[in-house]
Amino acid sequence: MRPNATLLNTMDNAVPAAAATDRPVPNDAHLPVDLRTPLRPDAFTLSEEEKIAGIADHFREIMMLLGLDLDDDSLNGTPRRVAKMYVQEWFRGLNPVYQPDVKLFDNRYQYHQMLVERDITLFSCCEHHFVPIIGKAHVAYLPGEHVVGLSKLNRVVQYYARRPQVQERLTRQIAEELKNTLHTNDVAVLIEADHLCVMSRGVNDTSSGTLTAEYGGAFDRDQTLRTEFLRLIGK
């Protein structure tokens, strides 16, 4: 018999708001070493505004080297716009102060079948060429004594996506974070994405896509469960 499933597809895909400044700053120390995003020890010495100012200066130099006229009113604000986009949007997942505060709730309904949230919008950035990765993530878990607020699944995906990434690492980071948060290994993550480094440069292939998956616990052991997960997300 196929396991029952609750399909949960919320619209709350926004990156979480900044946490209070006095919140303890976590990091990726709970992840296996090979899954930690490569960061220098002094990665958070500068404030966000200091980073924006420094990146804007450097990006202005890039634009000048390209021969662009920064006195033009369409271009003169671009260095700071790009810097703010990098620090406050594209790469905010580098700063652990934005790590989502995931709250668990008692599973008082005693729901122990597969819970799936599919089609989570995913925006990331290729760390090799710094161009976008655009796709969707699908996650599932088998609840135990606790369940998680639905939007928190989206927030975990967005937190790890908003970094320079490779898709394989991103898939496993999300899975490991969910295992750690939910206190269960019964987690599945599948990401399907388009990479602009493939589409807009190099081979210029606009028809191919990349799928990666990570299965833990029962999803790894039970082919029937894994097949049902894939069926529910349309794969």
In order, the DSSP letters of 188-214 are EEEEEEEEHHHHSSTT--SS--EEEEE
Last residue of a domain, one of 34, 55, 89: 89
Domain residues for the domain of 62 are 42-89
Is residue 1 a part of any domain in this protein? Answer: no
Tell me whether residue 125 is one of the annotated catalytic residues: no
Q: Is residue 80 located within the same domain as residue 115?
A: no
pTM of the model: 0.87
Q: Is residue 79 located within the same domain as residue 113?
A: no
Is residue 13 a part of any domain in this protein? Answer: no
Is residue 46 a part of any domain in this protein? Answer: yes
User: Is 129 marked as binding a ligand?
Assistant: yes
Which of 150, 37, 40, 13 is CA-nearest to residue 93?
Answer: 37
Q: Is residue 106 located within the same domain as residue 74?
A: no
Catalytic residue among 88, 112, 127, 146: 127
Is residue 167 a part of any domain in this protein? Answer: yes
Tokens encoding 128: 């090799």
For 41-71, the pLDDT digits (tens) are: 899 999 999 999 999 999 999 999 999 999 9
Is residue 32 a part of any domain in this protein? Answer: no
Is residue 10 a part of any domain in this protein? Answer: no
Catalytic residue among 158, 195, 214, 228: 195
pLDDT band at 101 (very low <50, low <70, confident <90, very high): confident
pLDDT for 228 beyond 90: yes
Instruction: Assign residue 63 the CATH number of its domain.
Output: 1.10.286.10
Q: Is residue 116 located within the same domain as residue 64?
A: no
Tell me whether residue 128 is one of the annotated catalytic residues: yes
Could you give the angle at the alpha carbon of 208 between the alpha carbons of 135 and 136, nearest 5°?
10
Half-sphere exposure of 28 (CA within 13 A, CB side): 25
What is the rounded CA–CA span in Å between residue 140 and residue 228? 11
Q: Is residue 47 located within the same domain as residue 144?
A: no
pLDDT for 20 beyond 50: no
The distance from CA 74 to its chain's CA centroid, rounded to whole angstroms, is: 32
Task: Name the residue type at position 94.
Answer: L
Tell me whether residue 126 is one of the annotated catalytic residues: yes
Alpha helices in 35-133 (DSSP H): 48-65, 78-85
Tell me whether residue 138 is one of the annotated catalytic residues: no
Last residue of a domain, one of 54, 89, 124: 89
Is residue 23 a part of any domain in this protein? Answer: no
What H or E segment, with its residue span, contains residue 173? helix 167-182
Q: Do strands 164-165 and 114-126 pair parallel, antiparallel, or not at all (unpaired)?
A: parallel
Q: Is residue 122 located within the same domain as residue 82?
A: no
- List all residues 6 or more positions away from 15 whose beta carbon is below 8 Å from its beta carbon: 89, 92, 93, 98, 155, 158, 159, 162
What is the rounded CA–CA span in Å between residue 103 and residue 87? 26
Catalytic residue among 99, 125, 126, 173: 126
User: Is 125 marked as binding a ligand?
Assistant: no
Least confident of 18-22, 145-149, 155-159, 200-204: 18-22
Instruction: Assign residue 116 the CATH number of its domain.
Output: 3.30.1130.10
Q: Is 229 exposed, middle or buried (0-12, 13-18, 19+ CB in 10 A)?
A: buried
Is residue 71 a part of any domain in this protein? Answer: yes
Determine the pLDDT at residue 125: 97
Q: Is residue 132 located within the same domain as residue 206?
A: yes
User: Is 197 marked as binding a ligand?
Assistant: yes
Q: Is residue 74 located within the same domain as residue 176?
A: no
Q: Is residue 57 located within the same domain as residue 173?
A: no
Tell me whether residue 129 is one of the annotated catalytic residues: yes
Catalytic residue among 30, 128, 168, 183: 128
Q: Is residue 153 located within the same domain as residue 60?
A: no
Q: Is residue 148 located within the same domain as residue 211?
A: yes
| Structural domain count, the chain | 2
Q: Is residue 214 located within the same domain as residue 171?
A: yes
